[in-house]
Chains A and B, each alone.
Chain A
Amino acid sequence: MAEGVPTWEEIARDHGRFLYSVAYRLAGNNDDAQDLVQESLLRIRRGLERYEPGSLEGWMARIVTNVFLDEVRRKKRRPVDALPDDPGRVLPPTPAADEVQTGLSDEIQRALGELPEDFRVPVVLCDVSDLSYEQIAAATGVPIGTVRSRIHRGRRMLRAQLTAAGVTGP
């Protein structure tokens, strides 16, 4: 491994808060964030041999994003759609008691969850991961002009959701 490249344990220790924040905002809850972080750390461990020292958080954010988008694609390939003859399955899931939370963070999380992934991912990478548009374009594989447009539209959607929920400011 190249000199100066941290181990995956050091990454977990020193950048765990960053990893968790991005994963939590993308996934929407702690359980899924845990899966996301765990799989991301596995990929980080496997990728460290090829990692060249640079923007470590940009690299980690790209990995977390890829894990998240892989999962989104798998869901789309095998949608767990409600069966027409099973009306109970069309009901939205009821959050468990320990998932019912209050506060701005949770209002924002709910609003983020309403955004389609195409908009949620660039907004999270911009405002939670603090990546540049160029880094977001690299992480998501879309042109930088599309990144710009999606961040703007995503923020407008987010604001509309928050306003509808009665949240007007921090």
Chain B
Amino acid sequence: MTDARDFLATDMLSAYLDGELTDTERAEVEAQLAESSEWRAELDEVRGARTMLRAVADQDAPEGFWDAVMAGVVTADDAPVEAGIEAGVEAEDEATAAATVVSLDEKRRGPGRWIATAFAAAAAVALAVIIVPQRDPVRPDVATAVVQHGAQGSDLGDPIGTITPVGPLAGFRR
């Protein structure tokens, strides 16, 4: 005959220690513990880890820690890039993401280093705005084409009839 406790998982033991079981579950676990030395050993195992970790849970920050943190937060508070972040502007492209990524592997460079990174991101965005419209100029040059057509259409008094069909401008990209 299959006992309901056959289906109990030992991960209930941590939940048992943490007071996260229902009354029914707790009774089932206690019954299992009474019968099984394996369960008791596993309970001791996780109880030991839990006790040790909780014994050292509260940790004092080293001297100077909070001065650096508070200075960093206040400085970031004044940074203009903050407005963009608050408005939900997030960098998705690789270049900007690379500028904003902050690796915890990096060695410390002082409390303001995240701020410097944020400015770098803002600079990358500004640079992109400036550069993008210039990346794909119209060929041929529009000003030259206007001068050529204007000259053909105005010198002989009949601006429409005398225009020489020029067809599509050579090299013009549709």
Tier of interface size on chain B: 35 or more
Of chain A, the residue at the smallest CB distance from B55 is A170
Query: What per-residue 1/0 map shows which CB atoms of A90-120 lie under 8 Å from chain B?
Result: 0000000000000011001000100000000
Can you name the residue of chain A whose Cβ is closest to the Cβ of B62?
A30
Q: Are A42 and B73 in contact (CB under 8 A)?
A: yes
Taking the nearest CB of chain B, how far is it from the CB of A92, in angstroms? Answer: 12
Q: Is the CB of A42 within 8 A of B76?
A: yes
Please tell me if B148 contacts chain A, counting CB pairs below 8 Å: no
Supposing A17-B59, A128-B57 touch, asked if A75 and B103 sit within 8 A by C-beta, the answer is: yes
Knowing A31-B108, A32-B104, A80-B105, say if A162 contacts B49 (CB, 8 Å): yes
- Dominant SS among interface residues on chain B: helix
Q: Chain A residues near B14: list those with CB within 8 A.
A: 148, 151-152, 155
Neighbouring B residues of A133 by C-beta, 8 Å? 15, 18, 20
Q: Are A12 and B70 in contact (CB under 8 A)?
A: yes
| Separation of A126 and B98 alpha carbons in the complex (Å) | 33
**Contacts of A12 on B, CB cut-off 8 Å?**
66, 69-70, 73
B149 at the interface (CB under 8 A from A): no
CA distance A104 to B18 in the complex (A): 22
Q: Are A34 and B69 in contact (CB under 8 A)?
A: yes
Contacts of B20 in A (CB 8 A): 132-133, 148
Which residues of B have CB within 8 Å of A123? Answer: 53
For A, the interface residue count at a CB cutoff of 8 angstroms equals 54
Q: Out of B70, B101, B107, which one reaches A31, CB within 8 Å?
A: B107
Is the C-beta of B10 less than 8 angstroms from some C-beta in chain A? yes
A98 smallest CB distance to B (angstroms): 9
A37 interface hit (Cβ, 8 Å): yes
**Contact A34:B59 (CB < 8 A) given known A127-B50, A158-B53:** no
Return A63 CB to nearest CB of chain B, in Å.
13
Q: Complex: how many Å from CA A126 to CA B18? A: 9
| Main DSSP-derived SS at the A contact region | helix
Given contacts A156-B46, A170-B51, contact A38 B59 (CB under 8 A): no
- Residues B11 and A153 in contact, CB atoms below 8 Å apart: yes
Assembled-state Cα–Cα distance A167/B51 (Å): 13
Q: Are B53 and A128 in contact (CB under 8 A)?
A: yes
Is B169's CB within 8 Å of the partner chain A?
no
- Whether the Cβ atoms of A170 and B18 lie closer than 8 Å is no
- Known A8-B73, A133-B20, A156-B45: A169·B105 in contact at CB below 8 Å: no
Contact between chains at B103 and A80 (CB < 8 Å): yes
Chain B residues 125-157 with CB under 8 Å of chain A are none
Pairs of residues from A and B, 3 with the lowest C-beta to C-beta distance, nearest first: A152-B11, A152-B14, A159-B49
A-B contacts besides A128-B54, A155-B49, A159-B48, 13 pairs, CB < 8 Å: A24-B61, A30-B65, A31-B107, A36-B104, A38-B68, A38-B73, A41-B69, A78-B98, A132-B20, A152-B13, A153-B11, A155-B53, A170-B55
| Residue contacts A-B, CB under 8 angstroms, 23 given | A8-B73, A17-B59, A17-B61, A20-B59, A21-B57, A30-B62, A31-B108, A32-B104, A33-B61, A46-B86, A74-B103, A80-B103, A80-B105, A105-B59, A133-B20, A148-B14, A151-B18, A152-B11, A152-B13, A155-B14, A156-B46, A162-B48, A169-B52
